[in-house]
């Protein structure tokens, strides 16, 4: 094999010489192409040394102005960069997104929203989620996935993209995202993490100026990215539309060079969000490596800037090195994709598993699980539950396998995203569970008609839905029908049905947190998120107890919009003038940390979720490891399923830092444990100070580093951020 390699290299050299190398960068005569066993850096360096300046510029900008209506890109998707056949550099094909293969690339598995993946608290399940995105991207010949939205949903619970995130906590979001991204790259597809950084609201996203201090930024939004980058080896980062402390993210020296490429030693490349580039020289010098999707700043303008020395040759060489290195590291050179059918059956099963593991039982006063043997009539009401389940809008939108069950126009805002219902009917799945029962659908457009049906049924199941999308935020935390010309008042619908039947069950199809004004009037509530390609089946399995729900909230449900750090959404004065969004209000205290700091009681706390069985966490034992090179602690405890049916519990470990740090307790570890009825198991959660999540540290603005404060550390253990006991304390000198 070695001889063949040498012969090929020699042939390659001769070919290069025959082509006359290039005019602006004379081709060094000596080096042979390194063998494929060489490191990605060595292989990338070789190609950079062979490239002309024009070829380098070709790789650092998108290859086609997008015509969204025509989707004229070679393989669909959101972006494309032609390769350089002379050097064996393949094309790059970019497609969204965080919840499956998007952008109308082709029919793909509509996974449940990624916030459902986070709600599973199961990193193995999350890896399967990423596997679906990676495998289906590759099947379509897409080799860059624009997913990994890890913005913190807790900053703005009305955020239109919360469905694409992994919730409010940086450690849970970072670890879940890392599991997705690692699995995607395992399919020889470059994964991405976005939107770097602080893109935490959609309103005015291209001119919003996020204000945040150094320590708070490091301990919140940036920590989610740090974990995602360090734990996954992700090779691309997408900088965001907004400004951060007065400078656009895609030309923000602090974000791109100091933090990402400096402190975190990120070896991959930074691409802009689509049309989020604002300059040539500034952006290049600040660390942007690739303009997407066109060549407004990094095309001829960049070539000229390099030729005139405004941008050093070393900078464009570094840009190209990072891109090529990513392609080598992920295997795009060595494992070129061949377009083939997706494995829709396997992937749909994973979509169903994610929904079954991620749905959260919020309330159950006894109506659930439904008893197949005793039920004769069921009313199924609202949210097109007869044909499908809701999905989120925008660039993350997946065209489901089998085509959408229903599309409903383009609400304005955002005016361009379509409402799409995935073809998985809860009605049909429920009917299949009880073939002899009468299961009747009512569309919920008339509350009294729905109530009449409920009154004549053993149980009433109301599907309440909230569509959200990129480029918009929700008008409130209430369920607000932004789809229909004559909006359905879903809160009134639920109240009417609940008044007619004490066994009213509400299923939520939403992207994040909502207030539930009718909560006291209903018997049970199941949070199903955007349920995905097999959502109907998963929901029916849970409602009838064939699956015991085990999800835990990755985002706090506030009691009121008035409890938010910014009750009134900051809005832009116009479409061009930057406006401030002041994140120094909640600072690092995003989500549950905010409600803890303010002494506010949420409707449902972070980490909360019920089961059809019960669990007991007893006998916590804390062991601290105080030696410098293994600093951390272990908490061991007994976990028992004290109920009559199998189920899984998520035991959560929180840490209180010394009072001198002024910090509320934080999630530092967890374990999801399946147990059969009555089974007891000893569980140990390990927390290591050196973990990418810096669990024991605060960010010190003088040292510009993570430090562990001296003093007393308190370890909490429980099954929700608001249901904890003290497992013990330890001292750091």
Q: Which residues are catalytic?
A: 273
| Residue whose CB is less far from ligand GLC, 193 or 590 | 193
Q: How many residues bind ligand GLC (CB under 6 A)?
A: 9
Question: For 336, how many CA atoms within 13 A lie in the half-sphere containing its CB?
Answer: 8
Q: Is 549 left (phi over 0), alpha (psi -120 to 50) or beta?
A: beta
Instruction: Please give the structure tokens belonging to residue 267.
Output: 């070896």
Least separation in angstroms between residue 532's CB and ligand GLC is: 19
Own/partner contacts of 496-499, CB < 8 Å, gap of 24 or more, are 496/447, 496/448, 496/450, 496/451, 497/379, 497/381, 497/447, 497/450, 497/451, 497/454, 497/460, 497/462, 498/460, 498/522, 499/451
CA pseudo-torsion sign 409, 380, 495, 609: negative
Alpha carbon distance 148, 18 (integer Å):
44
Among the listed residues 239, 147, 226, 227, the one whose alpha carbon sits nearest the alpha carbon of residue 187: 147
Instruction: Please give the structure tokens belonging to residue 176.
Output: 């879940």
Looking at residues 72 to 91 of the shown chain, list those that interact with ligand GLC (rule: CB under 6 A).
Answer: 78
Q: At what angle do helices 123-139 and 344-358 cross, to 10 degrees?
A: 150
CA distances from 442 to 87, 357, 460, 726 (A): 62, 28, 10, 49
| Residue whose CB is less far from ligand GLC, 156 or 470 | 470
Alpha carbon distance 61, 51 (integer Å):
16
Site string (367-406) toward ligand GLC, x via CB under 6 A? ----------------------------x-----------
Least separation in angstroms between residue 516's CB and ligand GLC is: 29
508 lies in the site for ligand GLC, by CB under 6 A: no
| Residue whose CB is less far from ligand GLC, 113 or 395 | 395
Least separation in angstroms between residue 195's CB and ligand GLC is: 6
| Residue whose CB is less far from ligand GLC, 470 or 586 | 470
146 lies in the site for ligand GLC, by CB under 6 A: yes
Q: Could you tell me where the beta strands, DSSP code E, fall in 573-613?
A: 579-582
Alpha carbon distance 333, 84 (integer Å):
12
Question: For 664, how many CA atoms within 13 A lie in the half-sphere containing its CB?
Answer: 20
Instruction: Please give the structure tokens belonging to residue 128.
Output: 């399967």
Instruction: Please give the structure tokens belonging to residue 349.
Output: 């099963």
String of b and e for 655-664 (b: at least 16 CB within 10 Å)? bbbbeebebb
Least separation in angstroms between residue 29's CB and ligand GLC is: 42
Q: List the strands of the sheet with 406-407, edge to edge.
A: 389-390, 420-422, 406-407
| Residue whose CB is less far from ligand GLC, 242 or 458 | 242
Least separation in angstroms between residue 290's CB and ligand GLC is: 13
Site string (527-566) toward ligand GLC, x via CB under 6 A? ----------------------------------------
| Residue whose CB is less far from ligand GLC, 414 or 545 | 414
328 lies in the site for ligand GLC, by CB under 6 A: no
CA distances from 555 to 423, 514, 534, 662 (A): 27, 10, 23, 23
Least separation in angstroms between residue 246's CB and ligand GLC is: 21
Site string (663-692) toward ligand GLC, x via CB under 6 A? ------------------------------
Among 274, 479, 529, 595, binds ligand GLC (CB under 6 A): 274
Least separation in angstroms between residue 268's CB and ligand GLC is: 16
| Residue whose CB is less far from ligand GLC, 394 or 426 | 394
Helix locations, 248-343, DSSP H: 253, 281-286, 300-307, 313-330
Alpha carbon distance 111, 184 (integer Å):
14
| Residue whose CB is less far from ligand GLC, 200 or 273 | 273
String of b and e for 694-704 (b: at least 16 CB within 10 Å)? bbbbbbbeeee
Q: Could you tell me where the beta strands, DSSP code E, fall in 331-490?
A: 360-364, 377-381, 389-390, 406-407, 420-422, 438-442, 459-465
| Residue whose CB is less far from ligand GLC, 94 or 606 | 94
> Cβ distance 391 to 530 under 8 Å?
yes
Least separation in angstroms between residue 80's CB and ligand GLC is: 12
194 lies in the site for ligand GLC, by CB under 6 A: yes
| Residue whose CB is less far from ligand GLC, 78 or 553 | 78
Least separation in angstroms between residue 104's CB and ligand GLC is: 11
273 lies in the site for ligand GLC, by CB under 6 A: yes
> Cβ distance 686 to 636 under 8 Å?
no
Least separation in angstroms between residue 103's CB and ligand GLC is: 6
Among 45, 55, 96, 202, binds ligand GLC (CB under 6 A): 96
Helix locations, 385-455, DSSP H: 426-433, 447-455
166 lies in the site for ligand GLC, by CB under 6 A: no
Burial of 468 (0-12, 13-18, 19+ CB in 10 A): buried
| Residue whose CB is less far from ligand GLC, 96 or 563 | 96
Looking at residues 445 to 474 of the shown chain, list those that interact with ligand GLC (rule: CB under 6 A).
Answer: 470
43 lies in the site for ligand GLC, by CB under 6 A: no
Is 239 strand, coil or helix? strand
Least separation in angstroms between residue 140's CB and ligand GLC is: 15
Residues that bind ligand GLC (CB under 6 A): 78, 96-97, 146, 194, 273-274, 395, 470
């Amino acid at each position: 094999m070695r001889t063949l390699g040498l012969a090929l290299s020699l042939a390659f050299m001769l070919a290069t010489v025959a082509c006359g190398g290039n005019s602006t960068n004379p081709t060094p005569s000596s080096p042979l192409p390194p063998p494929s066993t060489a490191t990605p850096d060595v292989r990338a360096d070789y190609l950079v040394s062979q490239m002309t300046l024009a070829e380098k510029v070709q790789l650092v900008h998108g290859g086609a102005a997008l015509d969204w209506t025509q989707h004229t890109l070679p393989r669909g998707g959101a972006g494309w960069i032609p390769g350089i056949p002379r050097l064996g550099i393949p094309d790059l094909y970019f497609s969204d997104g965080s919840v499956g293969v998007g952008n109308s690339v082709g029919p793909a598995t509509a996974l449940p929203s990624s916030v459902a993946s986070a709600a599973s608290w199961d990193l193995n399940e999350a890896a399967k989620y990423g596997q679906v995105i990676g495998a289906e991207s590759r099947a379509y010949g897409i080799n860059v996935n624009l997913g990994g939205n890890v913005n913190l949903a807790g900053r703005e619970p009305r955020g239109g993209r919360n469905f694409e995130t992994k919730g409010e906590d940086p450690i849970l979001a970072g670890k879940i995202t890392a599991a997705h991204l690692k699995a995607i790259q395992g399919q020889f597809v470059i994964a991405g993490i976005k939107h770097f950084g602080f893109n935490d609201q959609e309103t005015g996203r291209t001119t919003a100026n996020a204000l945040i201090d150094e320590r708070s930024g490091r301990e919140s939004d940036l920590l989610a990215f740090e974990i995602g980058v360090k734990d996954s080896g992700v090779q691309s980062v997408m900088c965001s539309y907004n400004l951060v402390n007065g400078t656009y993210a895609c030309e923000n020296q602090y974000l791109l060079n100091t933090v990402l490429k400096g402190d975190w030693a990120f070896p991959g490349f930074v691409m802009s969000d689509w049309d989020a580039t604002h300059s040539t020289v500034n952006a290049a010098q600040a660390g942007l490596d690739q303009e997407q999707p066109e060549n407004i700043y990094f095309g001829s303008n960049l070539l000229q800037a390099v030729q005139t020395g405004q941008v050093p040759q070393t900078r464009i060489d570094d840009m190209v090195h990072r891109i090529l290195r990513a392609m080598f590291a992920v295997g795009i050179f060595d494992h070129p994709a061949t377009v083939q059918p997706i494995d829709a059956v396997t992937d749909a099963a994973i979509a169903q598993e994610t929904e079954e593991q991620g749905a959260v039982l919020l309330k159950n006063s006894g109506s659930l699980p439904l008893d197949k043997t005793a039920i004769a009539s069921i009313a199924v009401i609202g949210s097109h539950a007869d044909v499908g389940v809701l999905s989120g809008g925008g660039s993350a939108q997946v065209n489901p396998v089998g085509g959408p069950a229903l599309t409903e126009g383009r609400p304005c805002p955002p005016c361009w995203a379509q409402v799409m219902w995935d073809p998985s009917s809860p009605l049909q799945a429920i009917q299949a569970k009880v073939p002899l029962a009468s299961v009747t659908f009512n569309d919920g457009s008339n509350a009294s008609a729905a109530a009449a049906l409920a009154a004549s049924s053993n149980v009433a199941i109301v599907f309440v839905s909230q569509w959200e999308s990129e480029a918009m935020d929700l008008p409130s935390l209430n369920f607000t029908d932004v789809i229909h010309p004559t909006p359905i008042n879903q809160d009134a619908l639920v109240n009417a049905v609940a008044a007619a039947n004490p066994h009213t069950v509400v299923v939520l199809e939403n992207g994040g947190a909502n207030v539930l004004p009718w909560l006291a009037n209903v018997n049970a509530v199941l949070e199903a998120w955007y349920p995905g390609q097999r959502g109907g089946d998963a929901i029916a399995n849970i409602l009838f107890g064939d699956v015991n729900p085990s999800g835990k909230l990755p985002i706090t449900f506030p009691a009121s919009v008035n409890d938010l750090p910014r009750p009134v959404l900051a809005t832009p004065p116009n479409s061009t003038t930057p406006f401030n969004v002041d994140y120094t209000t909640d600072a690092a205290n995003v989500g549950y940390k905010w409600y803890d700091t303010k002494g506010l009681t949420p409707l449902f706390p972070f980490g909360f979720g019920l089961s059809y069985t019960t669990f007991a966490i007893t006998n916590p034992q804390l062991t601290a490891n105080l030696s410098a090179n293994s600093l951390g602690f272990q908490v061991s405890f007994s976990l028992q399923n004290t109920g009559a049916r199998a189920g899984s519990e998520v035991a959560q470990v929180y840490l209180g830092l010394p009072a001198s740090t002024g910090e509320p307790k934080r999630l530092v570890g967890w374990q999801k444990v399946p147990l059969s009825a009555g089974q007891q198991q000893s569980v140990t959660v390990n927390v290591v100070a050196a973990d990418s999540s810096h669990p024991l540290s605060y960010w010190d603005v003088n040292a510009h580093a993570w430090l562990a404060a001296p003093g007393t550390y308190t370890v909490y253990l429980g099954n929700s951020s608001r249901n904890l006991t003290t497992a013990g304390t330890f001292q750091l000198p």
